[in-house]
Structure 1
């Protein structure tokens, strides 16, 4: 654990730790001036003094949590110091992941306390925690380097320049040995990309970019072969020691090599502590209760077999673990008569001060390891200032790492780059060009006469309907997998939801408009090009209808967690939209007339007719329009629309479409913000 002669942060002031020969007194500290110096002691490059994280001394005691009536954790203790790796082990369902959720602040506890350098867990400390989930959730079409670069630009502070952030990414890639695969796409079950071990390291790399003080990893070795698992654990161990990080991870069934890489072990059995202490002493603990390991047997396999035994054997192990808490070797920080800073308030909402050394004698402090004692004493000055301050609530205030504009700009670029291979794939290009040519040939060079009226209307209705369905179901199918990534990033506090939502609308807008524009560019001139203004106006309404349909798809995708349910609802809505659009049925029953006003196709189809037939069309020899006589051989636009029922003017239809766009976008944001927020 590298502690001496290192930069660290106490409150809002930067300090340089100087070694002290007298171990009974706290190490000397003095302020240092923030500069652009690059640390050459093995720590992250490009970090200013105010970006050096304070090493975290994590202690938790008496943790209890439940899911409804069923208890999951019961009176769990643990302690891990900077530079150490704590392994949490136990059979499936024993509460390993629940414990990590509690330590990260994502789970409400029934009882117990969590302390970071003897301070209660709050929002300020949550920013110094990285939580690597068991699932590897990424955008599959981005390369590993692109993923890390976007993460760095989002989660590293604006005080760092772009070049500094990229040097930071290079350092992470080098530390986790990802150089050879940095230009490989992440991939998924369809597209081949990174291997399982590389995805695990990529998952860890994204979280390490924030240079956290505490690392929580949920089964980082699951799904990996023995060599890849050992390589990953070796990297984590080396990183924890060299960078002075505190690491807590869950392991399912590790090899003996991986098992011995961990400094501390917390063994859980039915949500209770079956063993806590040094990893190298667990065999002696089991031997003391009559459970002896066979020679050349993996200790990890042995202890897991014991805690999976009969209920009597499990209770025997748990009782022995409880008895070991009374040992003199049990950490002083976990003893229940040791007072930390109180998280209770008096009537004036100020933290009540307590003497953190009220039950710790000088002999006990002298008996501690030098590094542990130094950490205790160094944090005393920080604790005292926090206790006496009246702005303790402000210390826990959550602040975003980057500004709204930075988040919007980076997310717009990422959304564009991530969605481009999916929305502008070769198959979509072939489909669009082929369909444009086919539609142009089917309705080739139609004269603006009454005989061709039905065919011209058919092209309009087909174009608006097809691109409505394309955009709607495209948004619907892309949203569920993207939602997992967004939820993970929102839980880590990477950016504002408003910045993401606005960036998604703007970043994907050129992609959403590209294919409909190409289709229109091909098919309309083949239909019969008459006026550039009419061509551009029809294109505008086609694109507006496409964007509105995409908005409805986002809203339904945000509301429905189940893909099948969202497809069913979308099919019902889009088919109803077509039926009441004004082309398939004009004689709508009076009691169903109101439904056409909920159809986006209805307004887009009417607008296209208004634009196309502004100058009217020529009457047929046997016209169905009564106004066609020998004196009047011209059908005005109003008569064409009146034959389909009532209609609105161009500006009114446009306003209704814009209202559809605004309402569904706002509703989608409200759903994500208040109803589907990640827990």
Structure 2
């Protein structure tokens, strides 16, 4: 294949430079990464050329059946798409179009049938090579379109590409999908105004095209677009499929005649059954053969959809004709072979042997292909023939991450910081923090260091600890459900490791979670009575530690509970119990109930603040003191131990700190375990 006037593609890794007049032989050079344009066809998508260029995908599925609960959605559906072809899946609402894509992407378990990609059953390695553009657009609402694409490029494009090359790739895709005018606009949601519906759809496609996938599945990509934009998008996908040898499957709701004729193959679904599969150009003749004739100048897509939504007799006639068509000689040979064992279970679960005789394409079919697609198909067929075994192990489906752990951690930390900053450091939160700091400082302004003011000093400590505990806890609780959908989407596509995301979330949000408590403490504590910089910084440290621990608990509950109301109820019970057993609201706790205080994070933070504050700034005894130690001679100040004993048992400073750190570690680990083993995206 000619890449430029002096470069020819020889294989998957090397290029041949034609010799100049001063050279005696061709020169082998390493691949370069740059947009590729064909001389015969205008290619609007850049070709990502790496050392491991993805092979084209030959997708075949036959006898496919799937159900949801007791309802069967798909029944005995066949289909075939070769490299360079675009398959359109049509049918009325509820016929199973999205379910079919979920099965082909491996996100929905099939009841029976076969899904083969290059003669291999669908497995984890293949799932990660599939681009699946969902019907619903799931993004972080506070990031701009350009930020979203840049983070996706940095995460999903290989480390062998430089940062500037990845950004050039993003620029090209923005230009191709005509997103330049809105690239600096936030994605938005139902509260914040951002991209329009059509712009979000194109942004969704752009994110998936960054990885140069071999197989593209798109669920109604034209939804929300006007007729011109829809045709422009579909024609671009068509050119991309032909020029790059990609396999494209799209579901369409009600396509225009222009879009309809862009598709090479058509799969028509009626009630979960195949009503037609074959060339798009032959569907009118198929309907004519059963007595359903189309009027002149009528959109074929509208005609066939009207027929299969007609009477039950007409639908039965069309489905029966489709079943008879499977017996004809012109039916694809890949779908005629019924000797392959049905794959009823997800690949790798049973370890059964697979005996599939995947037929060769005839010479006429190969000659009809685009020359470049033909070469890619022959490479694929040769590769498959040399690697197929009668027994396939899970190791054959090994998947390697596109980027290193450090790259994923660094990029995700930056993204989490940018995504959470508008939410955690919003103007309202800043105003609230400033107002609360001033209010608390004025309420407990310049308290004297005497026994009469002891309760007020303890009140400031307890209030500060519990307020920021609740703020961090419920903040993490409310932010996780919308973020969870984005994480599930990206984990399904194999964008990054869960461990990298989890550590990045902790590090990326750490500066944000401690900013507001630090501002509050900076305002209120000096007004309370500043007497030592060491005490000021130590109290701030314990206040921030308690805040981070509370965030960890909130994240764990948010990850564990799918229902927001359930998570709020559990959080309310836990945080209220934490306050009750913190040591300020109740000191005479029944002996049989004292064990509850050991599960109260406020209890340890509140004790530490008292130890630090009263050790450096002792409290003078009152004339009629309630502390026995003040009745002794030569005792003018209340010892810290006596203050703590009045509230029950207590631990030393180091022990309280250690318990808080254990709380932090345990809930962070539990949160990861829940996401890793119990909330794995299906």
Q: Would the TM-score normalized by the shorter structure come out above 0.5?
A: yes
Q: Secondary structure at the match of 2:114?
A: strand
**1:300-339: CA deviations, max 9, x gaps?**
2322222223333222111101111233332232222698
CA distance in 2, matches of 1:118, 1:2: 29
Matches within 5 A, 1:274-313: 274-313=275-314
**1:527-547: CA deviations, max 9, x gaps?**
000000000000000000000
Query: Which residue of the partner structure matches residue 637 of structure 2?
Result: 634
Out of 8, 30, 34, the position equivalent to 1:34 is: 30
The worse-fitting range, judged by mean Cα deviation, of 298-307 and 207-216 is 298-307
Q: Secondary structure at the match of 1:613?
A: helix
**1:155-187: CA deviations, max 9, x gaps?**
111111111111111121122121121111111
Residues 352 and 428 (structure 1), Cα distance of their counterparts in 2 relative to 1, 3 Å cut: closer
Residues 260 and 506 (structure 1), Cα distance of their counterparts in 2 relative to 1, 3 Å cut: same
Give 1:285 shift: 1.4
**1:565-616: CA deviations, max 9, x gaps?**
1111111111111111111111112222111111111111111001001143
Give 1:32 shift: 6.4
Out of 656, 666, 669, the position equivalent to 2:669 is: 666
Judge conservation of contact 2:601–2:660 (CA < 8 Å) in 1: yes
**1:71-99: CA deviations, max 9, x gaps?**
22222111222332211111222221121
Residues 199 and 212 (structure 1), Cα distance of their counterparts in 2 relative to 1, 3 Å cut: same
Q: Secondary structure at the match of 1:413?
A: helix
1:421 and 2:422 aligned: yes
The worse-fitting range, judged by mean Cα deviation, of 431-440 and 50-59 is 50-59
Judge conservation of contact 1:14–1:31 (CA < 8 Å) in 2: no
Query: Which residue of the partner structure matches residue 150 of structure 1?
Result: 151
Give 1:437 shift: 0.7
Query: Which residue of the partner structure matches residue 21 of structure 1?
Result: none
CA distance in 2, matches of 1:15, 1:291: 54
Give 1:227 shift: 4.1
Query: Which residue of the partner structure matches residue 644 of structure 1?
Result: 647
Residues 49 and 7 (structure 1), Cα distance of their counterparts in 2 relative to 1, 3 Å cut: farther
Query: Which residue of the partner structure matches residue 465 of structure 1?
Result: 466
Aligned length, in residue pairs: 660
Give 1:520 shift: 0.2
Residues 312 and 470 (structure 1), Cα distance of their counterparts in 2 relative to 1, 3 Å cut: same
Give 1:217 shift: 0.7
Query: Which residue of the partner structure matches residue 23 of structure 1?
Result: none
Residues 327 and 8 (structure 1), Cα distance of their counterparts in 2 relative to 1, 3 Å cut: farther
Query: Which residue of the partner structure matches residue 608 of structure 1?
Result: 609
Give 1:666 shift: 0.7
The worse-fitting range, judged by mean Cα deviation, of 395-404 and 480-489 is 395-404
Residues 474 and 613 (structure 1), Cα distance of their counterparts in 2 relative to 1, 3 Å cut: same
After TM superposition, the score normalised by the length of structure 2 is 0.90
Give 1:472 shift: 0.5
1:108 and 2:114 aligned: no
Q: Secondary structure at the match of 1:508?
A: helix
Residues 243 and 583 (structure 1), Cα distance of their counterparts in 2 relative to 1, 3 Å cut: same
1:452 and 2:448 aligned: no
Q: Give structure 1 stretches of 5+ with no counterpart.
A: 19-29
CA distance in 1, matches of 2:449, 2:132: 65
Judge conservation of contact 2:158–2:402 (CA < 8 Å) in 1: yes
Out of 672, 675, 678, the position equivalent to 2:678 is: 675
Judge conservation of contact 2:113–2:344 (CA < 8 Å) in 1: no
Matches within 5 A, 1:429-440: 429-440=430-441
Judge conservation of contact 2:31–2:51 (CA < 8 Å) in 1: no
Residues 508 and 244 (structure 1), Cα distance of their counterparts in 2 relative to 1, 3 Å cut: same
Judge conservation of contact 1:353–1:387 (CA < 8 Å) in 2: no
CA distance in 1, matches of 2:225, 2:625: 75
Judge conservation of contact 2:267–2:277 (CA < 8 Å) in 1: yes
Query: Which residue of the partner structure matches residue 72 of structure 1?
Result: 73
The worse-fitting range, judged by mean Cα deviation, of 254-263 and 388-397 is 388-397
Query: Which residue of the partner structure matches residue 655 of structure 1?
Result: 658
Q: Secondary structure at the match of 1:484?
A: helix
Judge conservation of contact 1:440–1:527 (CA < 8 Å) in 2: yes
Q: Secondary structure at the match of 2:216?
A: strand
Query: Which residue of the partner structure matches residue 190 of structure 2?
Result: 189
CA distance in 1, matches of 2:326, 2:641: 89
Judge conservation of contact 2:33–2:161 (CA < 8 Å) in 1: no
CA distance in 1, matches of 2:221, 2:123: 26
Residues 531 and 652 (structure 1), Cα distance of their counterparts in 2 relative to 1, 3 Å cut: same
Residues 47 and 284 (structure 1), Cα distance of their counterparts in 2 relative to 1, 3 Å cut: closer
Give 1:377 shift: 4.0
Give 1:375 shift: 5.5
Q: Secondary structure at the match of 2:323?
A: helix
Give 1:561 shift: 0.7
Judge conservation of contact 1:104–1:129 (CA < 8 Å) in 2: yes
Residues 353 and 551 (structure 1), Cα distance of their counterparts in 2 relative to 1, 3 Å cut: closer
CA distance in 2, matches of 1:354, 1:136: 38
The worse-fitting range, judged by mean Cα deviation, of 115-124 and 260-269 is 115-124
Judge conservation of contact 1:97–1:218 (CA < 8 Å) in 2: yes
1:216 and 2:212 aligned: no
1:618 and 2:620 aligned: yes
Judge conservation of contact 1:365–1:373 (CA < 8 Å) in 2: no
**1:433-458: CA deviations, max 9, x gaps?**
11101100110011111111011001
Give 1:33 shift: 4.7
The worse-fitting range, judged by mean Cα deviation, of 221-230 and 574-583 is 221-230
Residues 581 and 338 (structure 1), Cα distance of their counterparts in 2 relative to 1, 3 Å cut: closer
CA distance in 2, matches of 1:341, 1:383: 20
Q: Secondary structure at the match of 2:194?
A: coil
After TM superposition, the score normalised by the length of structure 1 is 0.90
Residues 257 and 153 (structure 1), Cα distance of their counterparts in 2 relative to 1, 3 Å cut: same
CA distance in 2, matches of 1:302, 1:644: 81
The worse-fitting range, judged by mean Cα deviation, of 334-343 and 311-320 is 334-343
1:518 and 2:514 aligned: no
Query: Which residue of the partner structure matches residue 24 of structure 1?
Result: none
CA distance in 2, matches of 1:32, 1:389: 37
Judge conservation of contact 1:46–1:168 (CA < 8 Å) in 2: no
Matches within 5 A, 1:484-523: 484-523=485-524
Q: Secondary structure at the match of 2:199?
A: helix
Give 1:275 shift: 0.6
Query: Which residue of the partner structure matches residue 55 of structure 2?
Result: 54
Judge conservation of contact 2:15–2:31 (CA < 8 Å) in 1: no
Query: Which residue of the partner structure matches residue 22 of structure 2?
Result: none
Judge conservation of contact 1:628–1:634 (CA < 8 Å) in 2: yes
Judge conservation of contact 1:60–1:78 (CA < 8 Å) in 2: yes
Judge conservation of contact 1:88–1:250 (CA < 8 Å) in 2: yes
